[in-house]
Amino acid sequence: MRLIVNGTSIGITHMDRDFVVVESPAEYPPGEASILLKVDDSESRWNVRLPDGISASSKRVAIAVSE
């Protein structure tokens, strides 16, 4: 699983319906992102909002489904 933010791919270690846990947090402001899920040869992608952005000091990142 990957979180794609402004063209940067960040590994996701855990995912829940309203947050993800990322491998390497970095500073990003609130905005749009995508979650990429690959299983074998199948790939799914969906858009999410990062209402609080990403803090370099926390691996937990709040997400909200984008409409």
Average pLDDT over residues 16-38: 96
Q: pTM of the entire structure?
A: 0.91
Tell me whether residue 67 is in a domain: no
Q: Which residue has the tokens 């690959």?
A: 38
Range of the domain at 53: 2-61
33 CB-contact burial (10 Å; exposed 0-12 / middle 13-18 / buried 19+)? buried
pLDDT at 31 over 90: yes
Q: Give residue-wise pLDDT tens across range 36-65.
A: 999 999 999 999 999 999 999 999 999 998
CA 45 to chain centre: 11
Q: Is residue 30 part of a domain?
A: yes
* Total structural domains within the chain: 1
Residue 66, domain member (yes or no):
no
